[in-house]
Structure 1
Amino acid sequence: MSKRKRYLIGALLLNLGGCMLGPDYQPPASQLPENWRSAPLSAGENPANAIERNWWQHFNDPLLNQLIEKVGARNLDIKLAENRIVTARAARAASSAVLLPSGDMMASANRQQNQLGFPSSGPSNLAGLVKQPFNIFKSGFDASWELDLFGGHRRDVESAQAELEAAALSQADILVSSRAETAKTYFDIRLYQAQWQLAQQVLASDRQSLAIFQERYQQGDASADDAARAEAKLQHDQAQIAYYANLQAQAEYSLDLLLGAAPGTAHQLTAASAAVPVSPVQLVLAAPAAVIAQRPDIRYAERKLAAATAQQGAAVAKFFPDISLSGFVGLFNTNAGNFFSLSSKAFGMGANMIWPILSFGTLSANLDAADARQQEAMTQYQHSILAALTDVERAFSAFSAQEQSRQALAKEAQANRQLLAIAEERYQQGQTAYPEVLDAQRICYASENNLSQATAQTGQDLIAVYKRLGGGW
């Protein structure tokens, strides 16, 4: 038996009880893994299944905390989501109002003439009397109430409520993303500042090297090629200053947009250089089922599925009669002079039924469309869960690998600092030539730059982990 026939037979059996047609929504069950495959070794389980809501505070950076607060209050994408919540709330109110009686104050005045035909043998005085123009004056209160016997309007309310909840979850998802993007952009700014400062140190070293080689060339201890290479390196490193300054400016403009502020606002906030933030707090994990239950995008997809399921019932109810009650209380008279007299008092009541007997497949097509939208919402919900699991695993894997890389680069940078100090000491004592110092400087500065990049990337990967875990709850 087809789904449509089951709907119709069920409705015929239950319509006297004022039932709600269509399937009643039940949250779908999902098969979720018990543990994460790529959970970082430094992570600890949280028996309360709670992730720190204010995760950004673990980086111990007051300006980052301030920026996160600002983005929650000023970000225009979040404000757009708030507007969509207001729209969805109004739609739910409109759907709920349909369930209640409606009434209107009305007043009308008409002049008309009956156009009735009479046989030629009929009395002429009667025909003239009937065809004589007359007035109708009417004023009062009209009321009507559509009885939702088959639950179509109640399904619309159910759908509107789910859409309202989905709109609120969409805002929560945008808030999570905006906070994470703000933190990542802030890390970029601090990284570019560190690289700019390191480039300044390299440039100062280049100038010193050029001066040494020029002096040695004049003394005949170095060739012209050595001085030319030193000059070329200085010009190359000079270009890096502008390169990192531009990267910082681009990141600051991105931060301006996230803050909903005029261009230049972020630069004023971040002008004072600071180190790339580092979080010393151990990452706390929750089980996959808890994460899926809390992620705003998953909950949004689930609410959209609930709304689509309710619309199936609304489409089924269209196959059955619409029954409404109506009434009138007021004044009715054909004489304006007597309109406000007691004789003009009037009332009326009645009932109407409209049953779409012949629709040429329109109702069936609407039901097919509702079923297809429900299946689409179900597929989207399943896709959202799979994508969420994949996102979290990727974030864990990236963070774990990056943290190991950062630790190795930190040890390398420390070793290269010691080598540079030894080379400089040997040069001062006349035990080695200056090119050995230059090689040590080049290696040391490169390792420092790699460490800065790794530190920023590790922090951003940790931010991504918190975002994938639902932003904290």
Structure 2
Amino acid sequence: MRTKIITAALVFVLAGCTVGPNYVRPDVAAADHYHAVADKPASPESPAPALDTWWRGFDDPELVVIVERVLAQNLDLEASAARVEQARAAAQFAGASRLPEGSLDGDVTRERQSTLSPVGKIASAFPGYERKQTLSEVGAGASWELDIAGSLRRRSESADAEYQAAEAAHAGVRISLVAEAADAYFQVRGAQARIAIAQDQIRNESGLVELVNVRRAGGVATLRESSQAQALLLQAQASLPPLQRTLAAQLNRLDVLMGAAPGTYAAEIAAAPGSFRLPAIDTTGGPAQLLRRRPDVIAAERKVASSNAMVGAAIAEYYPSFSLSSVLGFSSLASGKLFTSDAFQPAAMLGLHWRLFDFGRVDAQVKQAQGANREALLDYRASMLRATEDVENAIVALNELARQQALLEAEVEAHGQARDAAQEAYRGGAVSLIEVLDEDRQLLAARDLLAQVRADDARSAVAAFRAMGGGWSGGLQ
């Protein structure tokens, strides 16, 4: 009895052991500030919004409605959520593998035994032999693998980490979709602004054509001047189709992102005022915050944890595995005596499995797991570098676009004054039409570029919020 107790205690002590390296989150070097912030920052039009709901910082109700529809209706987001459910189920399955298993089985077999079979030949020699037989069996069984080396524990840890990585990937899909919707929205507003500028220019050029035609009728203007004015009008008109094509494409893109057929919300979005302000971006914490906010970085770190656990699972193959099984059942040819002491047939088994002569393969499995862990660690560090690069580039783009926008605003004002002065001078006959046409061309180019930069500035802000991991309420503690 003493030996049995000691043996049982030893088994349970060993069952609590877990081989392999315990996971420690890797240290990744991260600066406490962004280099681009040291430069002159962009001038925001509104304060920095919360990262969780950064799109509200643009103070555009239509953008808020679009993002809410994307989050509620996007099909890719639903598919990503389904992948999370699969990962959760896999983690639950791995955890359940460490628990005892139980089963209840029963069956009734009716057969007519062959007298030529081994059993039939022997049994038919006895008086009262009945070829038609009914065998009834019922039993409850239980089994439990004693996780001595911790293989099941490590596999459960790996599955849990994979589930957490799937959750982070889902957050990444959410962030990407929100940013993509905002990017498409600001492209829509940029196209609309450029279309309005082109239409305004068409009206101006039409007036200039009329003026030249009047002067030509009076013998003051020439055919060349009339043709030049007409060519500039056609040039302005020709700029509309590409802009209309861009506008339609981005409206269709928004509809699909909202889980609707193209054209569903296009009229509503196009008719909305579309006024927005550029929010500030809070860079407090520097790149170090990306370790907690960027879903791709978090997912990469969880992949490292998963691969680390699989190293332990591979090492556990060096050790023997034990299992306990038991069956409590009844078996009888007479159904009326099934649940009697004579029909009772219990059984218990202690199983042992040890890959004694297979260590070459185990060595290979361990090396493979260690290589996968090393790869995951390098991917984690690379993801951090890419995340920092994304934010730095976005901040630089914001700063430079802000400078460009300020310069373009001054340029448009100067070209507008020069164009008005040239037209007055042309009416008075002081300058030729070529000077007026040149000023018109330069003003149109400056106004069009200003509209592009204004939209690109908003898109760069979107890219910055996306790069910083904005758009979800989670984070790694």
> Which amino acid is the alignment partner of residue 85 of structure 1?
V
Q: Distance in 1 between matches of 2:462 and 2:421?
A: 38
> Which amino acid is the alignment partner of residue 288 of structure 2?
A
The 8 Å contact of residues 152 and 313 in structure 1, kept in 2 or not, is answered as yes
Paired-residue identity, %: 31
Secondary structure of the residue that 1:278 maps to in structure 2?
coil
Equivalent residue pairs, number = 449
Structure 2 residue aligned with 1:399 = 398
Task: After TM superposition, give the deviation of residue 58 of structure 1 in Å.
Answer: 1.8
Secondary structure of the residue that 1:20 maps to in structure 2?
coil
Secondary structure of the residue that 2:138 maps to in structure 1?
strand
- Pair 1:433–1:274, CA change in 2 (3 A): farther
Bigger Cα displacement from structure 2, 419-428 vs 202-211: 419-428
The 8 Å contact of residues 101 and 146 in structure 1, kept in 2 or not, is answered as yes
Task: After TM superposition, give the deviation of residue 213 of structure 1 in Å.
Answer: 2.4
- Pair 1:224–1:126, CA change in 2 (3 A): closer
Q: TM-score, normalised by structure 1?
A: 0.86
Q: Distance in 1 between matches of 2:31 and 2:185?
A: 34
Bigger Cα displacement from structure 2, 55-64 vs 183-192: 55-64
> Which amino acid is the alignment partner of residue 38 of structure 1?
A
Q: Distance in 2 between matches of 1:80 and 1:237?
A: 45
Task: After TM superposition, give the deviation of residue 408 of structure 1 in Å.
Answer: 1.0
The 8 Å contact of residues 33 and 284 in structure 2, kept in 1 or not, is answered as no
Q: Distance in 2 between matches of 1:163 and 1:322?
A: 25
Bigger Cα displacement from structure 2, 401-410 vs 225-234: 225-234
- Pair 1:126–1:104, CA change in 2 (3 A): closer
Asked if 1:24 is matched to 2:22, the reply is yes
Structure 1 residue aligned with 2:3 = none
- Pair 1:57–1:241, CA change in 2 (3 A): same
Q: Distance in 2 between matches of 1:24 and 1:283?
A: 36
> Which amino acid is the alignment partner of residue 58 of structure 1?
G
Structure 2 residue aligned with 1:119 = none
Secondary structure of the residue that 1:346 maps to in structure 2?
coil
The 8 Å contact of residues 43 and 285 in structure 1, kept in 2 or not, is answered as no
- Pair 1:285–1:460, CA change in 2 (3 A): farther
Structure 1 residue aligned with 2:168 = 169
Structure 2 residue aligned with 1:153 = 152
Bigger Cα displacement from structure 2, 391-400 vs 232-241: 232-241
Secondary structure of the residue that 1:202 maps to in structure 2?
helix
Secondary structure of the residue that 2:447 maps to in structure 1?
helix
Superposition RMSD in Å: 3.0
- Pair 1:100–1:166, CA change in 2 (3 A): same
Task: After TM superposition, give the deviation of residue 42 of structure 1 in Å.
Answer: 3.0
The 8 Å contact of residues 187 and 277 in structure 1, kept in 2 or not, is answered as no
> Which amino acid is the alignment partner of residue 304 of structure 2?
L
Q: Distance in 2 between matches of 1:446 and 1:88?
A: 53
The 8 Å contact of residues 193 and 273 in structure 1, kept in 2 or not, is answered as no
Structure 1 residue aligned with 2:6 = none
Asked if 1:365 is matched to 2:364, the reply is yes
1:121-146 Cα shifts (integer Å, max 9, x gaps): xxx999967xx988754212111111
> Which amino acid is the alignment partner of residue 74 of structure 2?
N
Q: Distance in 2 between matches of 1:413 and 1:126?
A: 110
Structure 1 residue aligned with 2:254 = 255
Task: After TM superposition, give the deviation of residue 318 of structure 1 in Å.
Answer: 2.1
| Aligned 1:406-445 pairs, distance under 5 A | 406-426=405-425, 435-445=434-444
Structure 2 residue aligned with 1:244 = 243
Secondary structure of the residue that 1:143 maps to in structure 2?
strand
- Pair 1:298–1:399, CA change in 2 (3 A): same
* Structure 1 unaligned residues grouped into runs of 5+: 1-11, 117-123
Structure 2 residue aligned with 1:34 = 32
| Aligned 1:79-94 pairs, distance under 5 A | 79-94=78-93
The 8 Å contact of residues 103 and 142 in structure 1, kept in 2 or not, is answered as yes
The 8 Å contact of residues 56 and 65 in structure 1, kept in 2 or not, is answered as yes
Structure 2 residue aligned with 1:301 = 300
Task: After TM superposition, give the deviation of residue 103 of structure 1 in Å.
Answer: 1.4
- Pair 1:104–1:285, CA change in 2 (3 A): same
Q: Distance in 2 between matches of 1:449 and 1:236?
A: 13
- Pair 1:428–1:233, CA change in 2 (3 A): closer
- Pair 1:315–1:409, CA change in 2 (3 A): same
Bigger Cα displacement from structure 2, 404-413 vs 281-290: 281-290
Secondary structure of the residue that 2:141 maps to in structure 1?
strand
Structure 1 residue aligned with 2:219 = 220
Q: Distance in 2 between matches of 1:469 and 1:32?
A: 14
Q: TM-score, normalised by structure 2?
A: 0.85
Structure 2 residue aligned with 1:3 = none
Structure 2 residue aligned with 1:271 = 270
Task: After TM superposition, give the deviation of residue 421 of structure 1 in Å.
Answer: 3.7
| Aligned 1:36-435 pairs, distance under 5 A | 36-39=34-37, 40-42=39-41, 52-108=51-107, 115=118, 137-272=136-271, 274=273, 277-281=276-280, 283-359=282-358, 361-426=360-425, 435=434
The 8 Å contact of residues 25 and 309 in structure 1, kept in 2 or not, is answered as yes
Task: After TM superposition, give the deviation of residue 436 of structure 1 in Å.
Answer: 4.2
Structure 2 residue aligned with 1:463 = 462
- Pair 1:390–1:82, CA change in 2 (3 A): same
The 8 Å contact of residues 187 and 276 in structure 1, kept in 2 or not, is answered as no
The 8 Å contact of residues 412 and 446 in structure 2, kept in 1 or not, is answered as yes
Bigger Cα displacement from structure 2, 148-157 vs 133-142: 133-142
Task: After TM superposition, give the deviation of residue 427 of structure 1 in Å.
Answer: 5.2
1:58-83 Cα shifts (integer Å, max 9, x gaps): 21111011111111112222111101
The 8 Å contact of residues 326 and 349 in structure 2, kept in 1 or not, is answered as yes
Q: Distance in 2 between matches of 1:307 and 1:276?
A: 47
Q: Distance in 2 between matches of 1:292 and 1:408?
A: 37
Q: Distance in 2 between matches of 1:188 and 1:141?
A: 67
- Pair 1:439–1:50, CA change in 2 (3 A): closer
- Pair 1:466–1:460, CA change in 2 (3 A): same
Q: Distance in 2 between matches of 1:171 and 1:51?
A: 20
Q: Distance in 1 between matches of 2:255 and 2:379?
A: 33
Bigger Cα displacement from structure 2, 84-93 vs 434-443: 434-443
Secondary structure of the residue that 1:32 maps to in structure 2?
coil
Secondary structure of the residue that 1:331 maps to in structure 2?
strand
Q: Distance in 2 between matches of 1:227 and 1:364?
A: 87
The 8 Å contact of residues 276 and 455 in structure 1, kept in 2 or not, is answered as no
The 8 Å contact of residues 328 and 348 in structure 1, kept in 2 or not, is answered as yes
- Pair 1:141–1:280, CA change in 2 (3 A): closer
